[in-house]
Structure 1
Amino acid sequence: MAKRATVADVAALAKVSSATVSNVIGNRSGKVSTRTRQRVLEAISALNYTYNENAATLRSNKSNIIGLVIHDLSNPYYTELIAKINRQLAKKGYATILACSDENLESQQSYLHLMQRHNALAVLLCPTWDTSGEHLAAWHDLSPTITFLRPVGSHESDFIGIDNYQAAYDLTRQLIADGHRQLAFIGGSQSSRLRRQRLQGWKDAHEDAGISWNDAHILYCSSSMSAGSAAVMQLFQQTSDVTALVCYQDIVAFGAMNALHYMGKTVGGEIAVTGFDGLSDAEGWLPSLTTAEVQIAVLAEHIVDRLLARLEKPQEPPSVTLLHAHIHWRASSHGDVDSSHAR
């Protein structure tokens, strides 16, 4: 096996110092003349030299690795978001280690320790629902941790999220303005803080409009089409007066719409349906789905920008950013309301 070329080998061939080779490899502008830089690059090519990033990490005690830990990869919203974050970090010269905790706190903590062993510069974390500030404290002391979408009830880390309350309030208030008086809230788990925020917006929109909401019209379900479908089937086995569904997520709304079609109910006419996330499939669904969206590209940009700012100024106090959701009003909520529910 041929001996692997070293920095010293490149320096000897290019007739420069090892420090000059390191400056070229590190792309340190202003340190090397154009002519010398070209000579070093030619030597690198001739020797088929490969930069040993692991060795450099050990020498400098730094890396270009960003840990990315998420609780769920089955939801298309999260997979789209991760892809955009990863692309933006790659453009900035960072590599990511991706891990999925599957909503398991023990797995999440193990992955955080894995990031530590890989000497990650920072971690981007969408935490499990039972994550507390104490769970993150030990890691936070070692490297910055940016949490996103799911708050942990602690202000020790930067957080980028969505104004869930206002989006749910706006969706519900407009449905009420359209004449709906019997509205259901479908989806989410009891432990979800995001669900509590969205549900509170739903409830407050009722109260501000002088309308009573019904506990029987609030159903939990997991984040899947099949669960959304089952929840709506259960709802209409119990009642027949609901004319509008505010769904916790688009994926749940898709399942709800399938169930309504199966029951022979007209989505957007007989029953209004809204979602939350702004998935790319929402516009192409039949009928197209009304949804509250924070553009995934915008959210990814805020997350990456916050990370870069934190790396540059690690001692600054943590910040909280809540992004406003834009509601796309589409065919799933624009049908006529029965005269008995007129505004």
Structure 2
Amino acid sequence: MTKRATVADVAALANVSSATVSNVISNRAGKVSAKTRQRVLEAITTLNYTYNETAATLRSNKSNIIGLVIHDLSNPYYTELIAKINRKLAKTGYATILACSDENLENQQSYLHLMQRHNALAVLLCPTWGTTREHLDAWHDLSPTITFLRPTGSHDSDFIGIDNYQAAYDITHRLISEGHSRIAFIGGSQSSRLRRQRLQGWKDAHEDHRLSWDESRIVYCASSMSAGINATLTLFHTDSEITALVCYQDVVAFGAMNALHYLGKKVGEEIAVTGFDGLSDAEGWLPSLTTAEVQIEVLAGHIVDRLLARLEKPEDPPSVTLLHAHIHWRDSSLLRKP
């Protein structure tokens, strides 16, 4: 059996100390010159050396692992966000363990315990609905937890989110200013805090314009294109006077637009449609979709920066960051013809 190469073997071949090899493996910035680093990397390749992460963790009681727990991987918004977070963490020398709770609180808690067993330095968590302070306490006492996009009501963890209320208010306000008075709100779960924030912005914009809003024009549905189709068909079957749709997510808006095409309605001219998330497909959709977006790159940057700051200063008080959404006004919400 071929003997497995060790750090000492790499150090000997590269003519450096074992500590220098360790610094290269751990990606410690400023510790090793570029020339020496290259020599060590060449020795690692020559010897086919494999770093034993488990053994290193046992020796130091630390790891370079960041847990990443998300509630939904079917929505392209979250998959894009996770990919960018993962790339940014990799550039700083951290590895991620990804888990999807599938909107199940019991699954989420099991995954948090799994992160504990793997001695993760911290967890980035987009929580499932129903997550409370008590659900996070056991983990939070051991390592920091950064929550994002979905608030839990706890002030013991850092939170990075979007000002959903203001975005929905601004969209609805402009639709009303352009002559729409019969505007429906489609999508989301009744238990969703984000949905409540967006729905409240929709309601307040109506009230500030002294327009009444109708409960029958508020429709719940799952976060999928097919759900958006069914919700829109049902809505227009009972209320044909609607002239604009504020959709909870872009994927729901895509479904709504397909349903309107089926009904023979001209999206953008007869019926305005707007979404949330700023998916890359929104601009290429026909017609292009008006959507409220916090750029995924920006959001991922804030999440990773907050994590790195928390790891550097774990004693600092938790912070809340709400990012302003930029609204891309596109063909799906053209100015209505008089």
Corresponding residue for residue 230 of structure 2: 230
Q: Distance in 2 between matches of 1:178 and 1:151?
A: 33
Instruction: Provide, for residues 11-40 of structure 1, a one-character-per-residue CA deviation record: whole Å limited to 9, x for no partner.
Output: 555666544543454455776788877776
Instruction: Provide, for residues 42-66 of structure 1, a one-character-per-residue CA deviation record: whole Å limited to 9, x for no partner.
Output: 6545543332222111101111111
1:270·1:335 contact (CA, 8 Å) conserved in 2? no
Corresponding residue for residue 211 of structure 2: 211
1:146·1:159 contact (CA, 8 Å) conserved in 2? yes
2:72·2:102 contact (CA, 8 Å) conserved in 1? yes
Corresponding residue for residue 301 of structure 2: 301
Identity of counterpart residues, as a percentage? 83
Structure 2 stretches of 5 or more lacking a match? none
Check if 1:22 corresponds to 2:16: no
Q: Distance in 1 between matches of 2:35 and 2:296?
A: 44
Corresponding residue for residue 243 of structure 1: 243
Instruction: Provide, for residues 154-192 of structure 1, a one-character-per-residue CA deviation record: whole Å limited to 9, x for no partner.
Output: 111000000000000000000000001111000000000
Does the residue aligned with 1:96 lie in a helix, a strand or coil?
A: strand
Displacement of 1:10: 4.0
Displacement of 1:297: 0.5
* Compared CA separation, residues 93 and 208, structure 1 to 2 (3 A): same
Q: Distance in 2 between matches of 1:149 and 1:193?
A: 10
Give RMSD over aligned pairs: 2.0
Matched AA of 1:99: A
Corresponding residue for residue 322 of structure 1: 322
Corresponding residue for residue 193 of structure 1: 193
Matches within 5 A, 1:101-120: 101-120=101-120
Matches within 5 A, 1:1-343: 1-11=1-11, 18-23=18-23, 25-26=25-26, 44-337=44-337
Q: Distance in 2 between matches of 1:280 and 1:32?
A: 40
Q: Computing the radius of gyration over CA atoms, which structure comes out larger, 1 or 2?
A: 1
Displacement of 1:9: 3.5
Q: Distance in 2 between matches of 1:74 and 1:31?
A: 42
Matched AA of 1:226: S
Q: Distance in 2 between matches of 1:176 and 1:68?
A: 40
2:68·2:96 contact (CA, 8 Å) conserved in 1? yes
* Compared CA separation, residues 9 and 162, structure 1 to 2 (3 A): same
Q: Distance in 1 between matches of 2:310 and 2:112?
A: 18
Displacement of 1:153: 0.5
Normalising to structure 1: TM-score of the pair? Answer: 0.93
Matched AA of 1:195: R
Displacement of 1:108: 0.3
Q: Distance in 2 between matches of 1:166 and 1:31?
A: 46
Instruction: Provide, for residues 54-81 of structure 1, a one-character-per-residue CA deviation record: whole Å limited to 9, x for no partner.
Output: 2111101111111110000000110111
Q: Distance in 1 between matches of 2:174 and 2:207?
A: 14
Matched AA of 2:212: S
Matched AA of 2:324: H
Q: Distance in 2 between matches of 1:143 and 1:177?
A: 48
Structure 1 stretches of 5 or more lacking a match? none
1:77·1:279 contact (CA, 8 Å) conserved in 2? yes
* Compared CA separation, residues 95 and 40, structure 1 to 2 (3 A): closer
* Compared CA separation, residues 121 and 260, structure 1 to 2 (3 A): same
Displacement of 1:279: 0.5
Instruction: Provide, for residues 123-170 of structure 1, a one-character-per-residue CA deviation record: whole Å limited to 9, x for no partner.
Output: 000000110010001001111100000000111100000000000000
* Compared CA separation, residues 193 and 41, structure 1 to 2 (3 A): closer
Q: Distance in 2 between matches of 1:33 and 1:291?
A: 47
Displacement of 1:237: 1.0
* Compared CA separation, residues 314 and 242, structure 1 to 2 (3 A): same
Aligned residues: 338
Q: Distance in 1 between matches of 2:32 and 2:162?
A: 46
Matched AA of 2:186: I
